Amino acid sequence: MKLQKKLAASLSGVSESRVKIDLEKLDELGGSVDDLKQSITKNDVRSYINSGVIIIRPKRGTSRGRARKLMIQKRKGRRRGPGSRKGKANARFPAKQEWMNRIRKQRSFLKEIKDKEEITPNMFRQLYRKAKGGFFRSKRHIKLYLEEHGLSKHGKD
């Protein structure tokens, strides 16, 4: 039945290893193994494929099981240490993004305390310029600066 397998493989465009002959199905249909062996044309083999005697096994894919397990671990924060990192720190979290987050927070805080009239518009402008120049490390640094220089009208925040 090597020939039949070869013909079935060429008909379906797969490897011979994916072709399976179901002898039980052949018995159910009332055919014999000899009949199958006698089928030497592509047309004969095609009829056996259509009747389900010759089966083309599905292609084996790559399992995603391991990948899923890894993703679950990464979501928990595992496997992210220095040994697993490929890019520079800037590639993993761009400096520009960091700056944008920081400056937006600082500017909104400055606007907030100006609206509450805790600082004068003139002082707001000076602090705004300092923030733009990268003087303040964080929102907390602005609060500290205000306290140290006694610039806030109401004292502490």
For residue 76, the 8-state DSSP code is T
Write down the H helix ranges in 13-118: 23-28, 33-38, 42-51, 65-75, 89-92, 95-115
- The pTM score is 0.52
Integer Cα distance of 150 and 4 in angstroms: 94
Q: Residue ranges of the chain with pLDDT lower than 70?
A: 153-157
Top CATH class of 2-56 equals mainly alpha
Is-contact 42 64, C-beta < 8 A? no
Cα of first residue to Cα of last residue in the chain, in angstroms, is 89
Please report the pLDDT score of residue 64 as a whole number. 96
Closest CA to 2 of 13, 14, 17, 24: 17
Please report the pLDDT score of residue 154 as a whole number. 53
Report domain extents, the chain. 2-56, 92-149
Which residues have a Cβ under 8 Å from the Cβ of 14 and sit 6 or more positions away?
A: 56, 59
Please report the pLDDT score of residue 67 as a whole number. 97
Tens of pLDDT, residues 77-96: 999 999 999 999 999 999 99
Integer Cα distance of 109 and 130 in angstroms: 14
Mean pLDDT of the chain: 92
Query: Architecture of domain 92-149 in CATH?
Result: Orthogonal Bundle (1.10)
Q: Do domains 2-56 and 92-149 have the same CATH topology?
A: no
Please report the pLDDT score of residue 157 as a whole number. 43
| Tokens at 3, concatenated | 């020939």
Output the CA torsion sign for 8, 12, 17, 21: negative
**How many C-alpha atoms does 34 have within 13 Å on its Cβ side?**
0
Which residues have a Cβ under 8 Å from the Cβ of 151 and sit 6 or more positions away?
A: 119, 123, 145
